Chain A
Amino acid sequence: MAPIEILDPTVEPRHQPLTYVPRPDSLKGKRVGLVENTKFNSDRLLHRIGELLINEYGAAECKMWRKHNASVPAHAEIIEEAKRSVDVIVAGIGD
Chain B
Amino acid sequence: MTTTFASKRHVVADLAQAMDLCYERGWTDGLPVVPPTEPAVGRMLDAVGLEPDAQLAFITNRQVAVTAEKVAINAVMAGCLPEYMPVVVAAVEAIADPRWGYHGPATSTGGAGPLLIVNGPIARRLEMNCEDNLFGPGWRSNATIGRAIRLVMRNVIGTLPGLLDRGTLGHPGKYTYVIAENEAESPWIPLHVQRGCQPGESAVTVLAAEAPRQWYNQLSSTPEGVLRTVCDDMRHHNSTNGQPQYVLVLAGEHMRTIANGGWSKADIQKFVFENTQNSVAHIKRMERLAGAVTPQDETTMRPLLAQADDVLVVAAGGRAGAFSSYIPGWAGGRRSSQAVTKVIQDRRA
Which of A7, A11, A14 has the most chain B CB atoms inside 10 A of its CB? A7
Interface residues of B in 90-110 (CB under 8 A from A): 101, 103-104, 108-110
Q: Once the chains bind, are A9 and B73 in contact (CB under 8 Å)? A: yes
Cross-chain contact of A69 among B5, B61, B335 (Cβ < 8 A): B335
Chain A proximity of B50: nearest CB distance (Å): 15
Interface residues of B in 275-290 (CB under 8 A from A): 290
Given A7-B41, A9-B155, A72 and B101 contact (CB-CB distance below 8 Å): yes
Cross-chain contact of B14 among A1, A9, A10, A12 (Cβ < 8 A): A1
Which of B30-38, B187-195, B212-220 sits within the interface? B30-38
**B136 adjacent to chain A (CB < 8 Å):** no
Q: Once the chains bind, are B331 and A71 in contact (CB under 8 Å)? A: yes
Determine the distance from Cα of A93 to Cα of B240 in the docked complex, in whole angstroms. 14
**B269 adjacent to chain A (CB < 8 Å):** no
Determine the distance from Cα of A18 to Cα of B60 in the docked complex, in whole angstroms. 12
**B15 adjacent to chain A (CB < 8 Å):** yes
A21 to chain B: which residues have CB within 8 Å?
none
Q: Once the chains bind, are A6 and B336 in contact (CB under 8 Å)? A: no
Chain B 53-68 near chain A by CB (<8 Å), digits 1 or 0: 0000000011111000
Chain A proximity of B311: nearest CB distance (Å): 20
Determine the distance from Cα of A8 to Cα of B11 in the docked complex, in whole angstroms. 11
What's the count of A-B pairs with C-beta under 8 Å?
Answer: 101
**A28 adjacent to chain B (CB < 8 Å):** no
Determine the distance from Cα of A93 to Cα of B124 in the docked complex, in whole angstroms. 45
Q: Once the chains bind, are A7 and B7 in contact (CB under 8 Å)? A: yes
Determine the distance from Cα of A72 to Cα of B290 in the docked complex, in whole angstroms. 22
**B261 adjacent to chain A (CB < 8 Å):** no
Interface residues of A in 1-27 (CB under 8 A from B): 1, 3-12, 14, 18
Q: Once the chains bind, are B64 and A11 in contact (CB under 8 Å)? A: yes
A9 to chain B: which residues have CB within 8 Å?
7, 27, 36, 70, 73-74, 77, 151, 155-156
**B126 adjacent to chain A (CB < 8 Å):** no
* CB nearest to A18 among chain B residues: B63
Q: Once the chains bind, are A71 and B63 in contact (CB under 8 Å)? A: no
Chain A 66-87 near chain B by CB (<8 Å), digits 1 or 0: 0011111100000000000000
A72 to chain B: which residues have CB within 8 Å?
101, 103-104, 335-336
Cross-chain contact of B332 among A7, A12, A40, A70 (Cβ < 8 A): A70
Could you list 10 A-B pairs, sorted by A, with CB under 8 Å? Answer: A4-B11, A4-B17, A5-B9, A6-B21, A11-B156, A11-B158, A12-B8, A14-B65, A71-B331, A72-B101
* Apart from A5-B37, A73-B61: 7 A-B pairs, beta carbons within 8 A: A3-B13, A7-B7, A7-B37, A9-B73, A9-B77, A12-B8, A71-B332
